[in-house]
């Protein structure tokens, strides 16, 4: 049998480099282990080449386990981009926290492999494997500051609840298998089409799977772990969970709902609709009262998952396109905001309350402008990526005539304005306190931040190029 390796070339490269680093760790002195990050970076660059080599090919590879299509390629580039940023900021972070452990990079690479598999999988078992690879790596990463209580607490909470929810997912897969006799996406879809009188088992299976994914995407009512874990985890890992892990689960869900269960759309829309409303409402309202900026961003990420869910519920071509665009926009602004949080947090993340941002805008104009742009974008104000993302996602929902949902989404985003503005208020309208440790911005972080700011504005003013890509990717 002919095996099409190009379908998983990036995953192979990331895994190989990850294993290499693991083997090298004993031979590198501890203080130098952050340099292993460059090797991991090389691995990601190789993975980019891997994506390029499979560019434009479509295939159902590895005995119908892996899709090789535009959607997959788009997602792969997205995840590799996010991993690159997270890798670069975590090198800085580990240096600053004196956490000289190369394992960090290995786990990051493996987590990336998991994400890539989730976005390209064509089989529920494969999706589950991808999710597990991603989850187990992130469980460890969340508790990486082992001496700190909050970090360990975050890891434990995430692990226990996560393991519980994956059990739901697996149980769901078993039910779907029982109802349709297959775990392969296309065969399940065929089986559903062939016998339109759906059995209860199928619904139960779908429902249980939604619980599993709902946990990973942090949708209400399965979001309770998010604030604690995001707050306790090291900031680069918060970014990983908020952007990459959420994105991977969401893209897997897009594929499963749109490709496997399109015939059941009425049923899953009925589940997603209230979930979207709850997610947006809880995320935005709970964020209002937060005094810790990491926690606030955690709730804001829940709210944004809700907006994405609005698109998912819409179920039309514009929706897929909108979700992909929104995800990229969301990645830009959330990564950017978290990088600023890391810089301002300084050693041991001591400065993460909103009051710590008082007067920062004048003392550190660069950070002030950058964070303002990200927050304005998160709030969905025009000329930024966040506005365009909302525009596309909500247009999709209007196209599917879900006016109620759109109005609720708009009302909740109006609530959201308040807490984003609050940070800007304290940055520019608060009194600057003298600081014990001055803020330093390393060159790589400065460059990344500049690029993210420019990207956020570029996508807000000229979203056409990315939207075209998303349009191609949206046709499964």
Partner 1 sequence: MFGTELQLTLLLLIPGFGALVIAFVPSRKIHLLRGTSLFFTSLTFLYSLLFFTHFDPGAETMQFVQKVPWLNVGVLHIHYHVGMDGISLFLVILTTFLMPLTILASWGIEKKVRPYMFFMLLLEVGMIGVFVSLDLILFYIFWEITLIPMYFLIGVWGGKRRVYAAVKFFIYTMAGSLLMLAAILTLYFFNEAQNFDLVEITQRLSLNQIILPFPVELLLFLAFFLAFAVKVPIFPFHTWLPDAHVEAPTAASVILAGVMLKMGTYGLLRFCLPMFPSASAALAPAISLLAIVGIIYGALVALVQTDVKKLVAYSSVSHMGFVVLGIFAFNLQSIEGATFQMLSHGLSTGALFLLVGMLYDRRHTHLIQDFGGLAHVMPRLAAFFMFIMLSSIGLPGLNGFVGEFLILQGTFLEHAGRAAFAASGIVLSAIYMLWVYQRVFMGAVQNDQNRTLTDLNFRETVILVPIVLLVVWMGLHPSTFLRRMDTSVQKVVDRIEQVREPQIYRVEYRGH
Task: Give least dist CB 316 to partner 1, A.
Answer: 9
Cα of 11 vs its chain's centroid, Å: 18
Which is nearest to 355 in space by CA: 293, 294, 416, 300? 293
Applying the rule CB under 8 A, the residues between 95 and 124 that interact with partner 1 are none
From candidates 20, 24, 417, 457, binder to partner 1 by CB under 8 A: 417
Total H helices, total E strands in the chain: 21, 2
Contact with partner 1 (CB under 8 A) among 64, 399, 442, 446: 399
| 74 contributes a contact to partner 1 by CB under 8 A | no
- 306 binding partner 1? (CB under 8 A): no
The CA distance from 378 to 283, in Å, is: 13
Q: State the Cα torsion 110-449-343-412 to the nearest 10°.
A: -90
As a residue count, the chain comes to: 476
Cβ-based nearer residue to partner 1, 50 or 368 = 368
- Write down the least CB distance from residue 407 to partner 1, Å: 6
Residue 199 or 291: the one with the smaller Cβ distance to partner 1 is 291
Q: Which range in 68-76, 289-297, 407-415, 433-441 contacts partner 1 by CB under 8 A?
A: 407-415
Give the Cα separation of 314 and 258 in Å (integer). 11
Q: Counting contacts by CB under 8 A, is residue 382 touching partner 1?
A: yes
Least separation, in Å, of the C-beta of 413 and partner 1?
Answer: 7
Is 5 near partner 1 (CB under 8 A)? no
Q: Are 85 and 448 in contact (CB under 8 A)?
A: yes
Q: How far is the CB of 454 from partner 1 (least distance, A)?
A: 15
Q: Which of residues 332-371 bind partner 1 (CB under 8 A)?
A: 362
Q: Tell which residue, 329, 366, 348, has the closest CA to residue 82.
A: 329
Residue 381 as a binder of partner 1 (CB under 8 A): the answer is: yes
Q: CB under 8 A: which stretch of 245-253, 277-285, 412-420, 431-439 binds partner 1?
A: 412-420
Burial of 417 (0-12, 13-18, 19+ CB in 10 A): middle
Q: Using CA atoms, how far apart are residues 162 and 186, in angstroms rounded to an integer?
A: 28
Dist CA 171 CA 211 (whole Å): 10
Instruction: CB nearer to partner 1: give 133 or 318.
Output: 318
**What are the backbone dihedrals phi and psi of residue 56, each rounded to the nearest 5 degrees, phi first?**
80, -10
Number of residues that bind partner 1 (CB under 8 A): 35
Among 298, 310, 376, 452, binds partner 1 (CB under 8 A): 376
The nearest distance, CB 468 to partner 1, in angstroms, is 6
Nearest Cα to 246, choosing from 297, 286, 292? 297
Which distant-in-sequence residues (6+ apart) come within 8 Å of 92 by Cβ?
342, 442, 444, 445
Please report, as ranges, the residues that interact with partner 1 according to CB under 8 A: 317-318, 321, 362, 376, 381-383, 387, 391-392, 394-395, 398-399, 401, 403, 406-407, 410-411, 413-414, 417-418, 421-422, 425, 428-429, 463-464, 467-468, 471
């Amino acid at each position: 049998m002919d095996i099409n390796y190009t379908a998983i070339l990036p995953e192979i490269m990331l895994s190989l480099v990850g294993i290499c680093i693991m083997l090298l760790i004993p031979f590198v002195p501890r203080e130098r282990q952050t340099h292993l990050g460059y090797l991991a970076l090389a691995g990601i660059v190789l993975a980019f080449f891997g994506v390029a080599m499979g560019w434009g090919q479509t295939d159902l590879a590895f005995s119908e386990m892996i899709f090789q299509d535009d959607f997959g390629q788009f997602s792969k580039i997205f995840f590799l981009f996010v991993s690159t940023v997270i890798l670069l900021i975590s090198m800085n972070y580990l240096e600053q926290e004196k956490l000289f452990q190369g394992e960090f990079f290995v786990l990051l690479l493996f987590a990336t492999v998991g994400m890539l598999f989730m976005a390209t999988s064509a089989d529920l078992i494969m999706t589950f494997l991808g999710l597990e690879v991603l989850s187990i790596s992130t469980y460890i990463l969340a508790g990486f500051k082992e001496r700190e209580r909050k970090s360990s607490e975050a890891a434990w909470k995430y692990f226990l609840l996560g393991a519980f929810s994956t059990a739901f997912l697996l149980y769901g897969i078993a039910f779907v298998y029982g109802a349709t006799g297959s775990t392969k996406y296309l065969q399940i879809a065929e089986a559903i089409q062939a016998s339109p009188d759906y059995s209860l088992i199928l619904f139960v299976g779908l429902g249980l799977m939604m619980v599993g994914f709902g946990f990973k995407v942090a949708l209400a009512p399965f979001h309770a772990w998010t604030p604690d874990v995001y707050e306790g985890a090291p900031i680069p890992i918060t970014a990983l969970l908020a952007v990459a892990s959420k994105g991977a689960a969401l893209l897997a869900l897009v594929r499963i709902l749109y490709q496997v269960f399109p015939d059941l759309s009425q049923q899953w829309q009925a589940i997603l609709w209230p979930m979207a409303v709850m997610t947006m409402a809880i995320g935005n309202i709970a964020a209002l009262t937060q005094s810790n900026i990491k926690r606030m961003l955690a709730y804001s990420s829940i709210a944004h998952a809700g907006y994405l869910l609005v698109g998912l519920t819409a179920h039309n071509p514009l929706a897929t396109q909108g979700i992909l665009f929104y995800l990229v926009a969301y990645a830009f602004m959330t990564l950017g905001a978290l990088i600023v949080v890391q810089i301002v947090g300084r050693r041991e993340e001591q400065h993460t309350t909103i009051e710590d941002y008082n007067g920062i805008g004048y003392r550190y104009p660069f950070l002030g402008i950058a964070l303002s742009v990200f927050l304005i974008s998160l709030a969905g104000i025009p000329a930024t990526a966040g506005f365009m993302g909302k525009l596309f996602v909500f247009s999709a929902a209007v196209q599917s005539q879900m006016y109620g949902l759109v109005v609720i989404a708009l009302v909740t985003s109006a609530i959201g304005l308040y807490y984003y503005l609050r940070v800007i208020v304290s940055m520019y309208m608060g009194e600057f306190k003298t600081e014990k440790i001055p803020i330093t911005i390393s060159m790589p972080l400065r460059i990344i931040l500049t690029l993210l700011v420019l990207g956020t504005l570029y996508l807000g003013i000229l979203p056409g190029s990315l939207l075209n890509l998303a349009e191609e990717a949206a046709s499964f």
